[in-house]
Structure 1
Amino acid sequence: MDKRKLSETDIISKFILPAVKTAGWDDITQIRQEVKLRDGKVIVRGQLGVRKTVKSADIVLYHKPSMPLAVIEAKANKHEVGKGLQQGLDYARLLDVPFIFASNGDGFIFHDKTKLGTPDAHNLETEIRLEDFPSPQELWAKYCAYKGYTESQLPIINQAYYDDGSGKHPRYYQLQAINKTVEAISSGKDRVLLVMATGTGKTYTAFQIIWRLWKSRAKKRILFLADRNILVDQTRINDFQPFGTSMTKITGRTIDPAYEIHLALYQALTGPEESQKAFKQVDPDFFDLIIIDECHRGSASEDSAWREILTYFKGAAQVGLTATPKETDEVSNSDYFGDPAYTYSLKEGIEDGFLAPYKVVRVDLDVDLQGWRPTKGQVDNNGEVIQDRIYNQKDFDRTMVIDERTQLVAETITNYLKRTDPMAKTIVFCNDIDHAERMRRAIANLNPEQMAKNDKYVMKITGDDELGKGQLDNFINPKRPYPVIATTSELMTTGVDAKTCKLVVLDQNIQSMTKFKQIIGRGTRIDDRYGKLWFTILDFKKATELFADERFDGTPEKIIKVTPTDIEDEDVDLESQDDTTSAETPDNVFGDQTTDDTTDANNDTINDPKGDGTLDGEWDDETNKMVKYRVSGVTVNKVAERVQYYDTDGKLVTESFIDYTRKTMSKQFSSLDDFVKRWNESDRKQAIIDELSEEGIIWSALEEEVGKDMDPFDMICHVVYDQPPLTRKERADNVQKRNYFTKYSGTAHTVLENLLLKYADVGVQEIESMQALKVAPFNEIGSLSEIVKKGFGGKPQYEQALKELEAEIYQMPAPKTA
């Protein structure tokens, strides 16, 4: 057996796996092959999106299913033994493991991170024989020493995560978050912060953390805290369902000690009155572990009523979950929890293909850019004299309503959906409830055909509207087509798991980075089953300028250390106060908190400049009341509409797909000659086409921009290297003009001429397959075997003739002489 001729798969099965199993690794519980760690980033241009193909780790070795230990990366024997090491190091980084092996079947290169910082660091990478592969016991002992585990930690560390047998496992970043949290708590740490982007499975991660700590009996009574009823109910019904009869939701202000897993709203446990502080029914040591969902909201503030619960149970280990850690002059998550134990950002999620990338359509309106001023003594639609000043973008739909502006925004939304997909789930974020209602009406009037099919095509889903709130579950359910468009103000900013939302419209003034990230999170979920791979942000208020802020996808820098004496009348984040359920929310639950905004009885935050709970508008000192002007008859026009895309560095770029292709190709090929050489040397052109597709070059998108008569070779030559745009027909004609077929006769001549015609019609991919000879017009010449054997003398000769034909097709034109 010539080892150098074996494939990578053969090297794994014949040499690497036998060596690993001989060392004592169990084939069923400790060895996993082809471990896919990423899903593949989605590249978006125009209305098309495609996933980049990602490679899998060849072999991952585990101590337990929850504890990966080592990565083995294999290569064919024609490569050097350590060829796969850098690839293995990348996988090891994702899995957070210190042991990496590379092999070509002759032996292993062993990269041992546990040696770093020791006197043996100069032997970081060593070559070992196949028969010297380390045993599970050896690597586990080294790993424990590396991590510094104590004997008391091991029973907790060794507890496996929950596995329902469906094949669902925690993703690599979820496993890192779970393991780092379990490690921290098992070592005695009592505050842990996890920062994970919206849509990355924080609740599932929390469930697995609780499961391991609960099953190992390290923590026996657990409290899961949230500030929105929908978050508690979704958690109980979905991710936490395996807890079964051990779990309860706290209602009626009673904590039942018969249960071990307790889910609760802050509002059900506390209130401004002592009689409302239900958490004091039990001793401070009642709970061993508290998980705080969306901890950037109410509990982030030192003097909030909600923080009182955490302080009361200060002896419990407390884990904070958030996508947007709070770091302001008044509020600090890291001051309470410490620095994040693990962070998984939106950028990482998009790069890995677990989160949807976005394109931004920025729409500038002339009235927003230039402002609007009333004429002297002008009255609004209600007969009120309008205060004389210039009203600008921040005023519109708060203190000043211009009907034509509302109409133009609604028309832009409608036209975008008609151009793309009228049934694409859409959330329109408005400034307040009144704005949301006017926007709903304008969109409804612009879509009579859709409203005739179903009058729930567009609905206002805000806290004051019971009918609208009742449709929220239908909106987020991918199986329910209606409602399609939801207009809202605050109710849907967080906690709404709208997996198939394809359009997020921003017609709201947004200054808070936290709020902006939460709103963007409404679109970042991917749902392959329903074709949701990316989403569009339609921005009318310049909110997407926040993408350029380094805080958008970075770790917030700790600003202050907050102590109780520092705080007097501290403000609470307005987002701590949305969407509570009135039935379970005591009156005046926020009575001890001063805020710049207020929350109406039905959970939508509204602007409150005077601090007295009045609606959006302009305060008139003379009449001592709030005024919101509304005018009609103003000419409003679109000045510009710019499309930007998410780029590889996480920034927005304005580029066509042609620009993207040029940039991508420059990384793959240094020059036109380099590309042509690679193309001509390739036995199958389809291999190069597939390779470029994996890098995100969407051929159908190029066809739309460049033309559909060129094959991939000429599209690249033209788009990237400025060559003349030759069509397939022109290339075929050039071959005919050179009398290439005169060297053949009979069946071979006929077959090759027809292959050339087929190339001109459909492209090179179709003629490379032997299956092409089974259909017309070739099946009229003879069967596949007859054509190959009688016409060409055998398969090798046929393949050689096809290769020569392709060389003729792709012959580059001679450079023009002056």
Structure 2
Amino acid sequence: MNTINPIHKIKFSEEDVRAKYIDPSLRNSNWKDEQVIREYVFTDGRINVIKNKSIRGKVKKADYVLSYKSNIPLAIIEAKKNSLPLSEGMQQGREYAEILDIPFVYTSNGKGFLEFDRSTGVTKEISLDKFPTPEDLLLRYYDAENIPLDKREIIEESYYYMKGAKSPRYYQRIAINRTVETIAKGQDRILLVMATGTGKTYTAFQIIYRLWKSRAKKRILFLADRNILVDQTMTNDFRSFEGIMTKISRDKIGKAYEIYLGLYQSMTGNEEWQQVYKEFGQDFFDLIVIDECHRGSAKENSAWREVLEYFSSATQIGLTATPKETKDVSSSHYFGEPIYTYSLKQGIDDGFLAPYKVIKYVINNDATGFRPYKNQRDKYGNIITDKIFEASDFNKNIVLSDRNKLVAKAIADFMKENNRYMKTIVFCKDIEHAQEMAMNLSNENPDLIKLNDKYVIPITGDNKEGKAQLDNFISPREKYPVIATTSKLLTTGVDAKTCKLIVLDTNIASMTEFKQIIGRGTRVDENNDKTWFTIMDFGESTKLFADPNFDGDPIPDEDFDTYPPLDTDRPEDEISEPTDDKDEDKKKPIENKELKIKKFYVDGVEATIIHRQIQMLDGDGKLKTESYTDFTRKTLKNDFANLDDFLKKWNSADKKNIILQELEKKNIYFAVLKEEVGGEFDEFDIICHLAFDKKPLTKKERVLGVKNRNYLKKYSGLAAEILEILLDRYADEGIKVFEGFDALKLPRFEKYGTAPKILKNFGGKENYLNIMKDISHEIYAGGLNVSR
């Protein structure tokens, strides 16, 4: 007798399909529990800033991720209920597989599997009992990637893992795996581009660990260009190498270690005796990892490049957030094209990096320029050169004291309105400007300076006291310093996780420098309430956000390296402090030929803020200036052509919440809108009001309309009582009370028995849901002509 598979007769939910069909298929194909991750969440959910609140968007989640080992994910499975086609979910699965760099995609509705092989582009159907084994998929992957047989052991080496330690995020895993695989294939120059705050050093550690543990690389050098970077690396990400790790310096050259960390400046110099790297044989290191390789190491005539060329036989990996492509400096020319890029926009979209708000200020002096009257003298008696001084001249060729005081007051006022203890970095034109700004900010906050004189402090290359406070400034545990003024010293290599305010009182033309500065604020620290940050711009720097190069691959241009050549007479920590940006380098300070005055100091020039504009980051990564309600109105009108279009979609939706969830993905949050429009209105009325200028009805008015139309008379007994309660709940909570069965689990319904018992009074689950759908239509029948 022919039998029919029960799955064709019974409706199974997605959860049923997983438990009854997918899980048994995986077990039958020898997939062990530790190789299967169910509900694999791989993003944190974008942080959206609405007014002064941050709201997390939805996380991205794959139903199943199958891995041969934890570091070798091989397949994604998307499960669907059995009433849907076998191909349902394949598009989503392919999208996730591309993001996660996973080679095989499967979908299943319990009747079989549909397989998509990303390496061949072939889709095929397979039966439930023919799902590939872990070994099958691993060998198919190796063959597709042309991994040599004798190198596969390197790829299978696991990550470093210690109980309680973090596991790599998905993009870190991709960067690690691609690097290890590229090395296994024989490539010896590699470039990784990862946005500031995404864990480049941690990624480097895992790459080094796997190559060292597998003995593919035995002596490894990690190069950085600032002491703080080397010291942080040794005590944080690299601490598990203790005992086999050393820091190279001119007075410490040990050759019995396996992991070496070095500061460029301590290994090179103009004199032969300063070139410490030559103490090692040219083939001593077989792997070199270069942090911040967009800097001097990318410049062909740089002394720092000598280190890399000396150890040319070693595999060399460049790490950067900002690759440079200029006439003098090229990251890709030396390392090749990046094998993986994880951008700032991706980091913000995934919720791993903090979004930002920009407040743009225009000061009268900056807009119109300043020209002295005839024979005007500065406060030191020097005759000021007769010319129009532009914004780019201020604090470089001429100091307008009142302008600088105005900037300090604007910063202090903003902090007083929001949080006077938010960690703040103020980027100034030069060291002198940073010192003056610290003084002005102190004068704006005398009460807090009286409590602690380190409330404001300049942290610059020449300020030993300030540099000594750097660790305290970046520590989330330390309250002081709160405000750091600087020129260039804090542009890179400073992990200021709790920095909530970045102030730009300098003109930045270098995209590389701009990206690095913005990166000081992009770290997220939810434990310390840091989910977004503000940028105050008193110049034209933030116009670079609109440049295609800001979050894309660098386009070669006529820029030149903004970083200084090696100067061995300066202390190590100061050597890597950049010079002024490219436009400023082209303009030498104006000099009075007789007195050799390089900078004029002028008091009494009136300064006022003539324009202030607030811009927010939208879902597309662009800055918008409109209000949140204007943004919502525009988005709604893009989604719904007219009122009839909206009403048709609203009424045809089995669950109104699905429409609301789709709008949330576009950064429309009704919890925030209710604060502006009114909490007494539900989402339907808010949409109709904002998008189509319809007068909204309150939830209580809608309930009253239902009752006045005698809608409940068609029901009797217990059902009528329960509907009356649900209508009252709608007046408090909104339309969600009519969707699903959760409302029946509230304490108020306990006297009627369990949810299944209540449902019997409505003729069962399906009939109850139909009644809920009908009452949802009735709710909106008043006030707007809604067809059913």
TM-score calculated relative to the size of structure 1: 0.87
- Which is worse superposed, 230-239 or 376-385? 376-385
> 2:67 matched to 1:62?
yes
Amino acid at match of 1:636: A
Residue identity (%) = 49
Amino acid at match of 2:671: S
Q: What is the distance in 2 between the residues matched to 1:607 and 1:97? A: 41
Q: What is the distance in 1 between the residues matched to 2:759 and 2:169? A: 54
Structure 2, gaps ≥5 residues long: 1-5
Alignment of 1:308-387 (within 5 A): 308-387=306-385
Alignment counterpart, residue 145 of structure 1, candidates 139, 143, 146? 143
**Residue 390 and residue 673 in structure 1: after superposition, are their counterparts in 2 closer, same or farther (change >3 A)?**
same
SS at match of 2:373: coil
The equivalent of 1:626 in structure 2 is 597
- Which is worse superposed, 224-233 or 429-438? 429-438
Alignment counterpart, residue 645 of structure 1, candidates 616, 628, 652? 616
The equivalent of 1:809 in structure 2 is 779
Alignment of 1:575-614 (within 5 A): 586-587=568-569, 605=579
Q: What is the distance in 1 between the residues matched to 2:455 and 2:738? A: 47
Q: What is the distance in 1 between the residues matched to 2:320 and 2:581? A: 25
Cα deviations by residue, 1:447-488 (Å, 9 ceiling, x for unpaired): 334334433332222222222222222221222232222211
The equivalent of 2:671 in structure 1 is 700
The equivalent of 2:30 in structure 1 is 24
Shift, 1:444, TM fit = 2.4
Q: What is the distance in 1 between the residues matched to 2:16 and 2:745? A: 32
Shift, 1:735, TM fit = 4.1
Amino acid at match of 2:117: D
- Which is worse superposed, 351-360 or 70-79? 351-360
Cα deviations by residue, 1:505-561 (Å, 9 ceiling, x for unpaired): 11111111110110011111112222322222111111011112221111123569x
Alignment of 1:121-140 (within 5 A): 124-140=122-138
Q: What is the distance in 2 between the residues matched to 1:312 and 1:449? A: 56
Q: What is the distance in 1 between the residues matched to 2:253 and 2:754? A: 82
Amino acid at match of 1:93: E
SS at match of 2:140: helix
The equivalent of 2:197 in structure 1 is 199
Shift, 1:600, TM fit = 6.5
Q: What is the distance in 1 between the residues matched to 2:31 and 2:574? A: 61
The equivalent of 2:3 in structure 1 is none
Cα deviations by residue, 1:602-627 (Å, 9 ceiling, x for unpaired): 9574699999xxx995322222x233
Alignment of 1:64-79 (within 5 A): 64-79=69-84
> 2:281 matched to 1:283?
yes
Alignment of 1:641-680 (within 5 A): 641-665=612-636, 672-673=643-644, 675-677=646-648, 679-680=650-651
Alignment counterpart, residue 563 of structure 2, candidates 574, 582, 588? 574
Q: What is the distance in 2 between the residues matched to 1:790 and 1:229? A: 70
Q: What is the distance in 1 between the residues matched to 2:158 and 2:553? A: 30
Alignment counterpart, residue 99 of structure 1, candidates 100, 104, 121? 104
The answer to whether the 8 A contact 2:223-2:264 is kept is yes
Q: What is the distance in 1 between the residues matched to 2:295 and 2:184? A: 27
Alignment counterpart, residue 114 of structure 2, candidates 87, 109, 116? 109
The equivalent of 2:686 in structure 1 is 715
The equivalent of 1:567 in structure 2 is none
Q: How many residues align?
A: 776
Q: What is the distance in 2 between the residues matched to 1:509 and 1:745? A: 74
- Which is worse superposed, 756-765 or 793-802? 793-802
Q: What is the distance in 2 between the residues matched to 1:735 and 1:81? A: 43
The answer to whether the 8 A contact 2:697-2:783 is kept is no
**Residue 487 and residue 733 in structure 1: after superposition, are their counterparts in 2 closer, same or farther (change >3 A)?**
farther
The equivalent of 1:552 in structure 2 is 550
Amino acid at match of 1:193: L
Q: What is the distance in 2 between the residues matched to 1:766 and 1:482? A: 49
Q: What is the distance in 2 between the residues matched to 1:608 and 1:802? A: 66
The equivalent of 1:9 in structure 2 is 15
**Residue 734 and residue 82 in structure 1: after superposition, are their counterparts in 2 closer, same or farther (change >3 A)?**
same
The answer to whether the 8 A contact 2:719-2:761 is kept is no
Amino acid at match of 1:496: V
Alignment counterpart, residue 89 of structure 1, candidates 90, 94, 117? 94
SS at match of 1:263: strand
Amino acid at match of 2:59: V
The answer to whether the 8 A contact 1:225-1:264 is kept is yes
Shift, 1:704, TM fit = 3.8
Shift, 1:446, TM fit = 2.3
Alignment counterpart, residue 388 of structure 1, candidates 378, 386, 395? 386
Cα deviations by residue, 1:423-464 (Å, 9 ceiling, x for unpaired): 222211111122222222222222334334433332222222
TM-score calculated relative to the size of structure 2: 0.90
Q: What is the distance in 2 between the residues matched to 1:239 and 1:53? A: 30
SS at match of 1:245: coil
- Which is worse superposed, 716-725 or 669-678? 669-678
The answer to whether the 8 A contact 1:51-1:696 is kept is no
Q: What is the distance in 1 between the residues matched to 2:754 and 2:347? A: 53
- Which is worse superposed, 456-465 or 742-751? 742-751
Amino acid at match of 2:124: T
Q: What is the distance in 1 between the residues matched to 2:156 and 2:744? A: 56
Shift, 1:306, TM fit = 1.1
Structure 1, gaps ≥5 residues long: 117-123, 561-569, 578-584, 591-598
Amino acid at match of 2:593: D
Q: What is the distance in 1 between the residues matched to 2:565 and 2:127? A: 59
Shift, 1:660, TM fit = 3.2
Q: What is the distance in 1 between the residues matched to 2:755 and 2:185? A: 73
Q: What is the distance in 2 between the residues matched to 1:706 and 1:53? A: 24
**Residue 274 and residue 814 in structure 1: after superposition, are their counterparts in 2 closer, same or farther (change >3 A)?**
closer
**Residue 609 and residue 393 in structure 1: after superposition, are their counterparts in 2 closer, same or farther (change >3 A)?**
closer
Please provide the CA RMSD for this pair: 3.3
Shift, 1:5, TM fit = 2.3
The answer to whether the 8 A contact 1:297-1:576 is kept is no
SS at match of 1:310: helix
Shift, 1:804, TM fit = 5.6
Shift, 1:713, TM fit = 2.1
> 2:428 matched to 1:430?
yes
The answer to whether the 8 A contact 1:52-1:695 is kept is no
Q: What is the distance in 1 between the residues matched to 2:757 and 2:479? A: 57
The equivalent of 1:33 in structure 2 is 38
- Which is worse superposed, 246-255 or 340-349? 246-255
Shift, 1:208, TM fit = 0.9
Shift, 1:200, TM fit = 1.0
**Residue 176 and residue 747 in structure 1: after superposition, are their counterparts in 2 closer, same or farther (change >3 A)?**
closer
The equivalent of 1:247 in structure 2 is 245
Q: What is the distance in 2 between the residues matched to 1:342 and 1:352? A: 17
Alignment counterpart, residue 445 of structure 1, candidates 443, 446, 452? 443
Alignment of 1:478-557 (within 5 A): 478-557=476-555
Amino acid at match of 1:105: G
Q: What is the distance in 1 between the residues matched to 2:644 and 2:704? A: 24
The answer to whether the 8 A contact 2:193-2:342 is kept is yes
The answer to whether the 8 A contact 1:463-1:602 is kept is no
Q: What is the distance in 1 between the residues matched to 2:755 and 2:154? A: 68
Cα deviations by residue, 1:45-77 (Å, 9 ceiling, x for unpaired): 321221210231111122222111111111111
The equivalent of 2:155 in structure 1 is 157
Q: What is the distance in 2 between the residues matched to 1:791 and 1:766? A: 15
